[in-house]
Amino acid sequence: MAKYENKPSLSQAGRLKKISQGSGLTPKEVEDILSEPKKTLDSAKVTALQFSRFFPESYTPKQMEDVIFDLLASWQAEQATQTGGGVA
């Protein structure tokens, strides 16, 4: 949970419990379940796992988020300069 800085959903928690009571739960199974994208309504969600290939292994999801938002702000400013206006 610390690696992805999130908590399991109710569904994920139930699956983790069921597997742990059965054949036993491996660290790989825990990681696979916790790294699944959670369902959201009317929004796009990208997980830290999807971005992790672009960052050093030592980066936390928060550090990745900070870099991504800084890059987006720079891109938005560049677009505004090129088009003479803002990005909607």
Q: Mind listing the pLDDT tens digit for each residue in 72-83?
A: 999 999 998 888
CA distance 35 to 9: 11
Q: Which of 60, 29, 35 is CA-nearest to residue 47?
A: 35
Measured CA distances, 40 to 70, 71, 81 (Å): 24, 24, 34
Please state which of the ranges 5-9, 38-42, 54-58 shows the lowest mean pLDDT: 38-42
pTM: predicted TM-score of the whole model, two decimal places: 0.45
Name every residue whose Cβ is closer than 8 Å to that of residue 26 and which is 6 or more positions away in sequence.
none
Position 40 scores a pLDDT of 61
Is the pLDDT confidence value at 51 over 80? yes
Place of tokens 């059965």: 22
